[in-house]
């Protein structure tokens, strides 16, 4: 048997910081890309209004409350980003195509319930315009899932 001298590497390793890498395979969050769509009878004035965080939160909470009750309103839901592409542009025919996109983060365990609640919800159909031809009608809105990233 041969005996080896202890190397000085343990001392050098003790002074150098260790780099730790962490890859989360089961993320606790699911990210959803949602589009707020308007019904065909909605006025152009309503369609062209930008979507603000308070309105988005109200529509999201309403959908969760209607589908899941009090349990749905307790689901933590973070609005990460709201975009309204093409807000200042109109097509040649004069109509505007507004895509109101909202990115949200929900707990992974609740993602299926949130998607089910949002996809089955139609809200805002109070029609507060007063116009007889329907042009001033507020119209109903609904959420459409455009995809999710896990």
Is 25 within 8 Å of 109 (Cβ atoms)?
A: no
Q: How many domains does the chain have?
A: 1
The verdict on residue 141 lying in a domain is yes
Range of the domain at 143: 28-149
Asked if residue 1 belongs to a domain, the reply is no
Q: With respect to residue 41, please indicate whether it lies within any of the assigned structural domains.
A: yes
pLDDT (tens digit per residue) in 60-89: 999 999 999 999 999 999 999 999 766 544
Q: What is the pTM of this model?
A: 0.67
CATH of residue 145: 3.30.70.3250
Decide if 56 is inside a domain: yes
Would you state the pLDDT for residue 12? 56
Residue 75 lies in a domain: yes
In a domain? residue 20: no
2, part of any domain: no
Rounded Cα distance between 150 and 146, Å, is 14
């Amino acid at each position: 048997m041969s005996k080896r001298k202890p190397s000085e590497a343990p001392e050098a390793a003790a002074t150098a910081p260790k780099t730790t890498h962490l890859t989360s395979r089961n993320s606790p969050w699911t990210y959803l890309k949602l589009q707020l769509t308007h019904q065909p009878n909605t006025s152009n004035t309503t369609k062209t209004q930008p979507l603000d965080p308070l309105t988005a939160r109200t529509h999201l909470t309403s959908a969760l409350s209607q589908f899941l009750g009090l349990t749905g309103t307790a689901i933590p839901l973070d609005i990460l980003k709201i975009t309204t592409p093409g807000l200042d542009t109109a097509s040649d025919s004069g109509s505007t195509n507004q895509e109101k996109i909202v990115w949200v983060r929900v707990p992974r365990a609740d993602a299926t319930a949130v998607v089910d609640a949002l996809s089955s919800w139609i809200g805002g159909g109070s029609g507060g315009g007063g116009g007889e031809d329907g042009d001033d009608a507020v119209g109903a809105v609904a959420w459409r899932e455009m995809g999710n990233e896990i």
